[in-house]
Amino acid sequence: MRHCLTVFCLYLACAALGLLCCARVQASTVPPTALASLATAPQWLALLHMQKNALTGTYHSEVDAKDFFLSGKKDDSEAELNATLQALRSPIEGNGSAWCRFPARAQFLTQYFSLHKPENLHCSALDYWRSRFSADTGVPRSLSKKNCLYFRAYLFAHRRT
């Protein structure tokens, strides 16, 4: 009798553990309809530089660079969304990481998914690129005040009256 009780308790424990695992998997997956609607969200399409074809109703990106698309498909925003999510969850370090290559996509997707940038990730190429711009204006630092003064004078002289 004691052996049957032990087996029964073990059975219940395994069943409970199985339910917990299933609940965790279901909580971490996103319904396909939610992914499809996020893939056609205006902000996501803008990040991919996608325009809608008025005749066919399909989307096509204006970007020709092959390394811009993680999915390899420039006309499938949902495939790119899935590929970006997978890349953000992968353990690639350094400048090759999706966190470094696509910071705007990462920022957008962290609003909808529980994604966290690795704490020890260092993006030297992104840091260099950001250092070239002024935080206040977004204008490249290479434009000195002297150049800006000439540019403003040019605009003032050629303004429409």
Same domain, 89 and 16: no
Parent domain of 16: 1-30
Which pLDDT does position 9 carry in this prediction?
39
As a whole number, mean pLDDT of residues 111-119 equals 87
Same domain, 26 and 45: no
| Averaged confidence pLDDT in the chain | 75
Which pLDDT does position 120 carry in this prediction?
85
Same domain, 52 and 78: yes
Whether 151 is covered by a domain: the verdict is no
| Residue 19 pLDDT > 90 | no
Whether 98 is covered by a domain: the verdict is yes
**Pair 46, 40: CB distance under 8 Å:** no
User: Residue 105: which of 153, 138, 141, 63 has the closest Cα?
Assistant: 63
Report the distance separating Cα 109 and Cα 93, nearest Å.
Answer: 19
The reported pTM is 0.64
Whether 17 is covered by a domain: the verdict is yes
> Per-residue confidence at 27, pLDDT binned at 50, 70, 90?
very low
Same domain, 21 and 72: no
**Pair 88, 109: CB distance under 8 Å:** yes
Structural domain count, the chain: 2
Whether 140 is covered by a domain: the verdict is no
| Residue 130 pLDDT > 60 | yes
- Strand pairing partners for 50? 61
Same domain, 56 and 10: no
As a whole number, mean pLDDT of residues 81-98 equals 89
